[in-house]
Amino acid sequence: MKRARCTQRRSRLATLAFLAALATPLACAGFEADVHFGLTLWLARQAGFAPGEAEAVALANQRLDAGSVEYMASPLQFACLARFAPGAMDAQARHYPSESRVPADVQSRPVVPGGVPALSQVGAALRRAEGGKAAFMLGEFGRSLHSLQDSWAHRGLPSVPNWSHHGIECDARLAMAAPLDRGAPSSHAANLTWRWPADVEEMARTTYQQMLRYPKVHGSPRQAAPWEQVRQALPAFSGARTKSAKSDWFVANGISDTSFLDGISLPDGPTWKAVRWKGRRDIPTPQPPAAQPGVEADLVGFYTRFLTDWLTTPPLEKRWLPALAATAGRKPDAALVDQLMGWRLRDHGAYLALESQPHSAGRSPSLHRNSAAFEVFQSLNGAVLPIVMEGSKPSPILPFLVFPLPPASDENQRAIALLKLLDAPYDTLGVIAEKRAASSWKITSVISSADY
Amino acid sequence: MHSYKALAIAASLSTLTLAGCGGGSSGTAAIPPDVSVADYVVPRVPSCAPDDRPETALQGQVPAALRESGFGGFNCNLKLVSQLQGEGASWSSATYTDRKGQTCFYHATMGESPALNNPAAPPRMNPGVPVINITNPAQPVRVSSLTSTAMLDPWESLRVNLARGLLAADNGVGGVGGPEIDLYDITSDCTAPQLLASVPVGTGTDGGIVPATKPLGHEGGFSPDGFTYYVGGFYSQTYYAVDLTVPTRPKLISAISMADLGLGSLPHGLSVSQDGTRAYFVSAGNVGTAAGSTQPPLDNPNATGDNGFFVIDTSEVQNRRPNAQMHRIATVPVRNGSAAQHTIPFSVAGKPYLVEVDEGGSGGIQDPSATGVKAACNAGMTPFPLAHIYDMSSEATPRLISELRLETHAVENCGKVIPDILGLSTFTYGSHYCSVDNRENATALACSYFNSGVRVFDIRNPAKPKEIAYYNPASVQAPGAGSAHLMFGQHRAGGPDWCASRLDFDFDRRLLTTACQDNGLLVLAFGNGTWPFPESTKAVEIGN
C-alpha cells in the first residue's frame, strides 16, 4: 500500500515535470550525454564501426564533459575565482573552438560551426590513427569530435557570465559561456536539441563524415549506412523533450541501455526510471575537505557541516535551515530555501524547467513537498562529483572547494564553496556564505554556472 | 631524520651479523626451527602431481648436462594451460579484467636500441606491447600491439591500475629511456586499450615542475588509487612523481634524486602503500663503480654497501600539497645482494611486511667467468639475487625476517651450480620480480627466477616461506627479437629461458599469468589444493 502511494506520487511528479517542460520554451536541457555519448554511439554504428569501437569513440567523447573529475572545467573557477589561463585554454579547445585563443576578448573568439579550429582537431586525431594505430586511437578521435559537435551548440560569440552582484569578478578574456542569442548563459538552452534541429542535423552530418574518414581498424573495411538513411532518423531524436522521449528514440534505434541519459538537463518525462550510468569512470573518494591548502579550518568545518546536512538528511526536514542567514523577520529567505530544495531534486531537468518559468508560477509546492523526488545520500562524498583546484599547482581531489570572496560592504567576511552535485553534473554550484560580526558563518545565496 | 638513519643502519647491521653467519643448511625440506635468516633455504615442494616433471637436481637448478642435451622444462603443481610465444617478452607484464569480464595480458618487448642489437635476431613483425585476450585462458589471442612511444619498449615500467582501469608505461627504450609516459584506458574493453596520453613529462611542456635532471624512463609503478605514477629513472638517478588526475594530461609534480636520498647508487623499482603516503624506492647498488655504485662489500663485514631500499614519506604528493616534496624516513641497506629491483608492501594477518627483490647477487652482476659469483661464495654470501622479506612493524627500522633462498643460492652448493652458468652473464639463477596474491591479505608470493622459472611460495608465515609450486619452461629453439634474453646475447640453444616478469594471481580461476622472455605468455594453473589457501582472499588490486 505504501509502495502504491509512493508510485502515485512519483507519477504525479513526473507528469507535472513533463507538462512543465512542454510549456516552457526556454527550458534548460542538453546537448549533453544524449549527443556526446548516445548520438555519437549510434552514428558510429551506422558508420560501420564494430560495437566496441563505437563505444570507445562515444565514451571518450562523453568523458570530456562535466561529471568526470578528469575533465571538469567551470568558468567560475578558471575565469573568475582561480583565473587560470591554461584551464580556459582547455575549455576553449574542448567546447568553444575558435581561431583566436584565450586570453582574448570574446569579440575575437567567434565559434564557427564545423569551422577550421574544430575540424583541425579531428584531422589531427585522424592522422595519428594512421600507421596501424587505429585500434587504440578511437578514444582520441572521440574526444576530437566533442569540440566539433559543441561548435554548433556554441556557435557565435561566447558570453561572459556576470556574478559581480555577488562580488565575483571574472576575467572577460578567459570567460566563456553560451552565446546570449542561444539562451541565458546560466542555462543549458544552447544545447537543447529540440530548439536547434537544423543545427543538430548539420552537426550529425559532419560528425558522420568524419567517422567515415577514420582508418580501418585492423584492416577491416566498414559498411556504412547511406547518410540519407541516417538523416531520416534525426528529427525524432532532436525533437525529444524529455529523458523518456530520448530513451524511447534510442531503444527504437537499437540502443537498449539508455542510462547514460541520467543527469542530463531534460526533465525525466512520464516513463523515465532514474538509474546511475555505469559508463562514468568510477568516482574517486575525495580527500577530506580540510586537505585544501590555505583555507581556514572553521570555514571548511562550517561548509562541511552545512553540505552534509543538506545532502544527507531528508530535504523535507530542512535540518540545514539554521545555517542560513536570517532576514529581518528572523526567517531564512524563502527564495534561498526554495533554491536549496530545488537543487536537491533527483530530476534536475524538472527543476531547471520550472526555474525558467516566471517566478510566481515557477516553483511547484508539490515538487518540493514530495519526499520521493529527492535522494537522501549516505554521505557528502556520495552526493557529489569530486572536483580539483584549477591552477599551476597540483590539487587534491576534494568534495568541494572554498574560495574567499571580497568582504561585503559592512566588511563582513565572505566566501564561496564550489561543488558539483551527482544529480546535476552539468552545473557547478557556488554556495556563498558570510560571517557577520559576533556571529558564525551563514549561507547567504547560491549561484550556478552551466558547465559543458 | 638523523636518528631515523642511525636506527636504520643499526637495524641493518644487526641483519648483516645474521647474514654473515655462514651456511650449514642441507638445502632439504627439514628446517630446524631456529635456523638463521642467512641459513634458511626455502623448503622444497613436499609433493608434486603424478604427471608433473619435478626437478632432477638442486631446487632451481638446470644442470649443465641438461642444458647441453636440451632442457625440456620442469613443473610441480603448476600446469601449463596455454602459451603465446609471439615475438618474445622482456621485463614487465600486467593482467587486467575489464568491466565486461574480459581478461587481458600485456607484456613488454624489446625496442630498437643500438646497444642491444643482436644481428642474429629475426626481424620484428609486431613491435610494441601485445594486447592478448586471455578471457579463455586456454586460447590466448593477440588482438593488437600498442606502438605509442613508451610502449615500444617499456622496459620494467609496464603496469595496470585496477582502481582507474589504466595501463601505463614510461619510455624505457634500451633501459636508458626517455621522458615520455603513455597512458591507456582499459576499463571498458581491455582488448582495445584507448590511448589517453603519450607525452614527455618534466620537460616544461606538461605544466608541471621541471626537475634538475630530465626524466628517463626505466621502471615505474602506480599509487593504488591510480592518481600518481612514479618513475624510477635509472639513468637519470632520480625518482619522479607524475600526477594522473587528468590522465590525458600527466604532469610531473615532484622529484627526488639519489643524492637527495643520501646514496650514490641508482634508482630502480618501487611500490606505494595502500594509502599512498609511503613509497618504497630501491637503491640499486653494490654493482661496482663502473655501473655507478660501490663495489660489492664482500670483504668487509662492517660495510653496508649502497644496495637496499628507502622508506619514503610521499604524503605531500598524495595530498597534492603545493611544491610537494618526498622525504626519506629510512634507508635499509641490503648487503646480501645487489642491483635491487623492486619492493612490495603487504600484510599477513594484519601485520605489515615488505619484500625487496634484487637482480644481482652479493658479488654484483654476473660476468661470463662468474667472478662475482665465486667471490660471493668465497665470502660466504648469497651468489645469486633473491627476495628479502622485512617486518615493517616499525617503518623506521625494518627488520629482515627471511630470504627466498633456493638450493641454488646456498653457499654450500656453489660448486654444484657454477659449472651450469659459466659463459653466461648478468642473471642466471637469480630472481627479478615477485608478486603477492593479495597485498592486504597475503598468503602466497610468486617470483620469477631467470633460469629457475616461476616459483610460488606459501608466506602465511613470512619468516618461514615454503615453496608450493614451480614451473620452469622448456628451452625455446627460436626466440623472437622481443626477448631480452636473445637481444642480450644470453640465449643458448637448449638452455633455460629467462623468466623475469611480474606475475598475476587469478583468484577466481586459480591461475597464474606471467611471461618468460623466450616463451612469451604463460598461463599456468595451480594443482588441486595448492592455492588458494583457506585463508586466501581475492585481491581488490594488482599484486604490486
Is the omega angle on the peptide bond into residue B532 within 30 degrees of 0, that is, cis? yes
For residues A334 and A119, the model is more confident at A119
Task: Enumerate residues 324 to 343 of chain B having a beta carbon within 8 A of any beta carbon in chain A.
Answer: 324
Q: Residues B16-65: pLDDT tens digits?
A: 222 322 223 333 345 556 789 999 999 999 999 999 999 999 999 999 99
% of chain B exceeding 70 in pLDDT: 93
Collapsed DSSP state (helix, strand, coil) of residue B75? strand
Q: How confident is the model at residue A257 (pLDDT cuts 50, 70, 90)?
A: very high
Q: Which of A136, A287, A397 sits opposite B146 (nearest CB)?
A: A136
Q: How confident is the model at residue B267 (pLDDT cuts 50, 70, 90)?
A: very high
Contact check, Cβ <8 Å, A139/B246: no
Cβ neighbours of B188 in A, within 8 Å: 55-56, 59, 279
Residue ranges of alpha helices (H) inside A240-347 are 243-252, 297-312, 334-343
Specify the residue for cell string 547518410. Answer: A227
Residues A92, A102 contacting (CB under 8 angstroms): yes
Provide the pLDDT for residue B3: 32
Provide the pLDDT for residue A328: 62
B159, β-bridge pairs: B168
Residue A285, min C-alpha distance to chain B (Å): 9
Average pLDDT value for residue range B234-262: 95
Cβ neighbours of B246 in A, within 8 Å: 70-71
For residues A192 and A110, the model is more confident at A110
Residues B377, B388 contacting (CB under 8 angstroms): no
Average pLDDT value for residue range B129-143: 98
Contact check, Cβ <8 Å, B147/A133: yes
Q: State the SS3 of B248-317.
A: CCCEEEEEEEHHHHCCCCECCCEEECCCCCEEEEEEECCCCHHHCCCCCCCCCCCCCCCCEEEEEECHHH
For residues A202 and B118, the model is more confident at A202
**DSSP 8-state code for residue A131:** T
Average pLDDT value for residue range B383-388: 97
Q: Domain residue spans in chain A?
A: 25-261, 289-450
For residues A388 and A359, the model is more confident at A388
Provide the pLDDT for residue A436: 84
Q: How confident is the model at residue A67 (pLDDT cuts 50, 70, 90)?
A: low
State how far the Cα of A324 lies from the Cα of A345, in Å rounded to an integer.
Answer: 19
Checking if the pLDDT of A12 tops 70, the result is no
State how far the Cα of A340 lies from the Cα of A135, in Å rounded to an integer.
Answer: 46
Mean of all residue pLDDT scores within chain A: 87
State how beta strands B74-76 and B78-84 pair.
unpaired
Phi, psi of A390 (to 5 degrees): -90, 125
Checking if the pLDDT of B12 tops 50, the result is no
Which amino acid, one-letter code, is at B479? Answer: P
Q: Which of B146, B195, B322 sits opposite A293 (nearest CB)?
A: B322
State how far the Cα of A207 lies from the Cα of A114, in Å rounded to an integer.
Answer: 9
Q: Which residues contact A1 (CB under 8 A, 6 or more apart)?
A: none
Mean of all residue pLDDT scores within chain B: 92
Beta carbon pairs, A and B, within 8 Å = 85
Provide the pLDDT for residue A444: 95
- By C-alpha distance, the chain B residue nearest A72 is B246
Cβ neighbours of A214 in B, within 8 Å: none
Provide the pLDDT for residue A22: 36
Residues B506, B82 contacting (CB under 8 angstroms): no
State how far the Cα of A71 lies from the Cα of A81, in Å rounded to an integer.
Answer: 18
- Among A59, A121, A136, A280, the strongest candidate for a mutation testing the B interface, having the largest count of B CBs within 10 A, is A136
Query: Does the CB of B146 have a partner CB in chain A at under 8 Å?
Result: yes
Q: Residues A335-387: pLDDT tens digits?
A: 999 999 999 999 988 888 877 776 544 455 577 778 889 999 999 999 999 99
**Lowest pLDDT segment from A118-132, A426-440, B91-105:** A426-440
- Side-chain half-sphere exposure of A186, counting CA atoms within 13 A: 15
Q: Domain residue spans in chain B?
A: 2-526
Contact check, Cβ <8 Å, B245/A69: yes
B138 vs B190, B521, B523, CA distance in Å? 18, 12, 8
Q: Which of B147, B207, B324 sits opposite A132 (nearest CB)?
A: B147
Specify the residue for cell string 651468489. Answer: B383
Q: Which residues contact A428 (CB under 8 A, 6 or more apart)?
A: A66, A74, A76, A77, A387, A418, A419, A420, A448, A449, A451
Q: Residues B331-354: pLDDT tens digits?
A: 999 999 999 999 999 999 999 999
Query: Does the CB of B174 have a partner CB in chain A at under 8 Å?
Result: no
Checking if the pLDDT of B486 tops 80, the result is yes
Specify the residue for cell string 641454488. Answer: B408
Provide the pLDDT for residue B2: 32
Contact check, Cβ <8 Å, B194/A137: yes
Average pLDDT value for residue range B182-210: 96
- Cβ atoms within 10 Å, residue B17: 13
Residue B251, min C-alpha distance to chain A (Å): 9
- By C-alpha distance, the chain B residue nearest A386 is B245
Residue B389, min C-alpha distance to chain A (Å): 32
Cβ neighbours of B184 in A, within 8 Å: 136
Cβ neighbours of A392 in B, within 8 Å: 207
Cβ neighbours of B255 in A, within 8 Å: none
Residues B454, B39 contacting (CB under 8 angstroms): no
State how far the Cα of B171 lies from the Cα of B234, in Å rounded to an integer.
Answer: 12
Q: Residues B17-27: pLDDT tens digits?
A: 223 222 233 33
Provide the pLDDT for residue B99: 92
A188 vs A191, A234, A426, CA distance in Å? 6, 21, 9
State how far the Cα of B394 lies from the Cα of B320, in Å rounded to an integer.
Answer: 26
Collapsed DSSP state (helix, strand, coil) of residue A301? helix
For residues B288 and B513, the model is more confident at B513
Cβ neighbours of B148 in A, within 8 Å: 133, 136
Provide the pLDDT for residue B32: 56
Contact check, Cβ <8 Å, A279/B188: yes
Q: Residues A261-291: pLDDT tens digits?
A: 998 989 999 999 989 988 877 788 899 999 9
Topology adopted by domain B2-526: Methylamine Dehydrogenase; Chain H (2.130.10)
Largest CA-CA distance found in chain B, in angstroms, rounded: 62
Q: Residues B422-481: pLDDT tens digits?
A: 999 889 999 999 999 999 999 999 999 999 999 999 999 999 999 999 999 999 999 999
Average pLDDT value for residue range B222-243: 96
Q: How confident is the model at residue B541 (pLDDT cuts 50, 70, 90)?
A: confident
Checking if the pLDDT of A89 tops 80, the result is yes
Query: Does the CB of B225 have a partner CB in chain A at under 8 Å?
Result: yes
Q: How confident is the model at residue B535 (pLDDT cuts 50, 70, 90)?
A: very high
Provide the pLDDT for residue A450: 85
Contact check, Cβ <8 Å, A137/B163: no
Provide the pLDDT for residue B314: 98
- Cβ atoms within 10 Å, residue B119: 5
Specify the residue for cell string 590525458. Answer: B248
Cβ neighbours of A397 in B, within 8 Å: 227, 245, 320
State how beta strands B228-233 and B219-222 pair.
antiparallel
- Cα-Cα-Cα-Cα torsion A154, A158, A164, A166, nearest 10 degrees, comes to 10
Order the strands of the B180-185 sheet from edge to edge: B159-161, B166-170, B180-185, B194-200
Q: Residues B98-124: pLDDT tens digits?
A: 999 999 999 999 999 888 889 889 999
pTM, to two decimals = 0.91
Contact check, Cβ <8 Å, B164/A282: yes
Give the residue among B382, B413, B379 at the shortest CA–CA distance from B400: B382
Q: How confident is the model at residue B358 (pLDDT cuts 50, 70, 90)?
A: very high
User: A interface toward B at CB cutoff 8 Å?
Assistant: 52-53, 55-56, 59-60, 69-71, 86, 132-133, 135-140, 143, 218, 278-279, 281-282, 284, 287, 291, 293, 388, 392-397
Residues A311, A383 contacting (CB under 8 angstroms): yes
- By C-alpha distance, the chain A residue nearest B247 is A70
Residues B355, B436 contacting (CB under 8 angstroms): yes
Query: Which string of DSSP letters, residue by residue, matches A334-372?
Result: HHHHHHHHHHTBS-HHHHHHHHTS-HHHH--HHHHH-GG
Average pLDDT value for residue range B6-13: 28
% of chain B exceeding 90 in pLDDT: 86
Average pLDDT value for residue range A70-82: 86
